[in-house]
Amino acid sequence: MSTSSPVRATQPPLPEQHPTHPVTPGHLTWLSSQVVEWQREGLIAPWQAQALVTRYHATRTLGLARLLLALGAVFVGFGLIWLVAANLDRFTPLTRFGVVATIWVAVTVGAELLAARRAHGGPVPSPVVHAGRLLAALLFGAVVFQAAQSLQVPAYEPRLVGVWALGALLHGYLVRAAAPVVLGVTAGFTWLVWSAALDEPTVLGILLVICAAGVGAVAVATLHDRSGPRPAGAPDLASPWRVAGVVVLLGALFAAALPFVEGHAAVWTPRLVTTVVVATLLALAAVVVTLRSPVEPVETRRRLAWEPLAALGVTGLAVVLVLWDAGADASDVGLVDWAHAAVAVLGYLAVSAGVAALGVLRDRTELTVIALVALVLFTTVQSFAVFAQIIDGAWLFLLMGLILAGSGWLADRGRRQLAKTLGDDSPGAVRPTASDSTVRPEQGDLR
């Protein structure tokens, strides 16, 4: 028999209004129902219940307003860049530059004034502010290209994209906004891959530059996570780096695993040496900072420290697959070709499973989706590139379907086991009992 008595707490002064945490509508509904139950059982006072619920606001991952505003900003930004690239002859270069720069400054200042005034009327972040900052970062690209045009610099130069990326990243970190950072990371990787494809003389050199960029991005994301907990309403600046690093590494490993990609010794150009050294130092710094973090338990720190090391391992596997001479003769598939295909398939399956596990560990659905899509594409291409040489027609599709189904089954079993292990080993985890009838959010399999 319960002897608990209702909680009697004195209501403190109302705190100052701060930005609230975004949650899905289903989770907010679940929290509201639980708060009502806790209040009915006397566990919390009415003012405490109100304070708990008002700390969160319902939002969707990609709402209609956010989508339309982002698309509008993208179209306006690229439209202005297009107008600049068209080289409007009715104006002088100085006039064109002045007009574009004025628009960029006006949009940038307007977005920050809107963010400072909180004109949307409350602590819930406004998608208008995000769209304004994204448009400002895009317009900076128009300023860069117009300045290059005025200075008679060739417009189709990767270094202009690099300057654009640097400005967008600087803008994003100065105002602590995710949209300019996403644009800056995207433009930065575009510049790096474009310039490497133009300047690096070997396939292995291009691959090393791309892999090093992926390692560096993963390391930067890990360093972001170790910088401390994010305040309420603060953007997640680690996710763009992590997603970009995962996509680049999976893409590089995908290309390296193709049997017809021939590898030669890399020519160590200054760009290649600089990129590899910086990426390695960032990865080592991320490992050291993670292991020394006083916030998490030792086991958690050790598990998270493997993330940049795994990125270095993916780079090593890609180099081995490129240097492995196999698949030169498509009409004669020998034992070496089969061994190359086996290592490539098993390695890619392991890397994809690791990315999916990382998505479970960090509760990032996009990483799991990226791993699934990459695995399906890789298995399909490998099946046609290797098995199609000896199996054709319906048997090829049957074998490919069995491989995909088996890979999916193994990935699902691994995901479920990982989720179960994490739930059982979490410090302070509550073990459900037979009498536990607590309502769960989002009915269904949450694993």
Instruction: Note whether 388 and 344 are same-domain residues.
Output: yes
d(CA 115, CA 106): 14
Instruction: Note whether 229 and 366 are same-domain residues.
Output: yes
**Surface-to-core class of residue 209, CB atoms within 10 Å of its CB (0-12 exposed, 13-18 middle, 19+ buried):** buried
pLDDT attached to residue 89: 61
Instruction: Note whether 222 and 178 are same-domain residues.
Output: no
Polymer length in residues for the chain:
447
337 touches 259 (CB < 8 A): yes
Q: Stretch 241-265: mean pLDDT, rounded?
A: 84
d(CA 351, CA 314): 7
CA angle 348, 350, 356 (to 5 degrees): 100
Tell me the whole-structure pTM to 2 decimals: 0.73
**Cα 414 vs. chain centroid, distance in angstroms?**
22
Instruction: Note whether 233 and 185 are same-domain residues.
Output: no
Instruction: Judge whether 392 lies within some domain.
Output: yes
Instruction: Judge whether 148 lies within some domain.
Output: yes
Confidence bin at 427 (pLDDT 50/70/90) = very low
Instruction: Note whether 236 and 345 are same-domain residues.
Output: yes
Instruction: Judge whether 14 lies within some domain.
Output: no
In one-letter notation, the amino acid at residue 363 is D
Instruction: Judge whether 444 lies within some domain.
Output: no
Query: Element (H or E) spanning 23, and its range?
Result: strand 21-23
Residue 250 has pLDDT above 90, yes or no: yes
**Cα 212 vs. chain centroid, distance in angstroms?**
17
In one-letter notation, the amino acid at residue 174 is L
CA end-to-end span of the chain: 35
134 touches 183 (CB < 8 A): yes
Domain termination site, one of 183, 199, 215: 199
Query: Element (H or E) spanning 164, and its range?
Result: helix 158-175
CA angle 403, 404, 405 (to 5 degrees): 95
Instruction: Note whether 172 and 226 are same-domain residues.
Output: no
Instruction: Judge whether 442 lies within some domain.
Output: no
Instruction: Note whether 301 and 250 are same-domain residues.
Output: yes
User: Quick one: residue 110, left, alpha or beta (phi over 0 = left, psi -120 to 50 = alpha)?
Assistant: alpha
Q: Stretch 354-378: mean pLDDT, rounded?
A: 83
Instruction: Judge whether 9 lies within some domain.
Output: no
Instruction: Judge whether 432 lies within some domain.
Output: no
Instruction: Note whether 242 and 210 are same-domain residues.
Output: yes
Cα–Cα distances in Å, from 210 out to 47, 192, 433? 54, 8, 50
d(CA 243, CA 238): 9
Q: CB neighbours of 239 closer than 8 A, spacing ≥ 6?
A: 178, 221, 364, 366
What's the maximum distance between 2 C-alpha atoms anywhere in the chain? 87
Domain count, the chain: 3
Instruction: Note whether 160 and 100 are same-domain residues.
Output: yes
Domain termination site, one of 153, 180, 199: 199
Residue position matching structure tokens 């691959």: 207
69 touches 131 (CB < 8 A): yes
390 touches 281 (CB < 8 A): no
Confidence bin at 230 (pLDDT 50/70/90) = low
d(CA 307, CA 301): 11
Domain termination site, one of 199, 216, 251: 199
Instruction: Judge whether 45 lies within some domain.
Output: yes
pLDDT attached to residue 439: 40
Q: 81: which 2 tokens?
A: 């860049």
Domain that holds residue 299: 202-423
Q: Stretch 245-267: mean pLDDT, rounded?
A: 82
Residue 14 has pLDDT above 60, yes or no: no
315 touches 249 (CB < 8 A): yes
Instruction: Note whether 226 and 354 are same-domain residues.
Output: yes
Instruction: Note whether 306 and 186 are same-domain residues.
Output: no
3-state secondary structure of 332: coil
Confidence bin at 438 (pLDDT 50/70/90) = very low
pLDDT digits (tens, 9 = 90+) for 143-197: 888 888 777 777 678 889 999 999 999 999 998 888 899 999 999 999 998 988 8
Instruction: Note whether 242 and 297 are same-domain residues.
Output: yes
Nearest to 354 by CA among 374, 324, 339: 374
Confidence bin at 47 (pLDDT 50/70/90) = confident
